[in-house]
Amino acid sequence: MFLKDLPVGSKGRIVSFGKDHPEYRRRLVMLGATPGTPFDVVRIAPLGDPIEIRVRGSFISVRRDEAELMQVERID
């Protein structure tokens, strides 16, 4: 499952990132979004881009094309 597939209010855990874009992975890791970290989907813009998530108390906006690279698992 990918981040782009989760609706607002969902909780999930980051599983891995795509290997095609190492700069994207580095940016998210610097912001605290590491594999194994739980997060909440806070908001999705009306046109679906960007998606805002809360990770470790910080809010991160992720573009939709970046959200397609972020593999997650849903937790309830």
Paired strand residues for 75: 11
2 three-class SS: strand
CATH topology (fold) of 3-75: SH3 type barrels. (2.30.30)
Query: Per-domain residue ranges for the chain?
Result: 3-75
pLDDT tens for 2-21 read 888 899 999 999 998 877 77
pTM metric for this prediction:
0.82
pLDDT tens for 41-55 read 999 998 878 999 999
* CB-based contacts of 73, cutoff 8 Å, min separation 6: 1, 12, 13, 15
- Distances 38 to 35, 42, 48 between C-alpha atoms, Å: 9, 13, 21
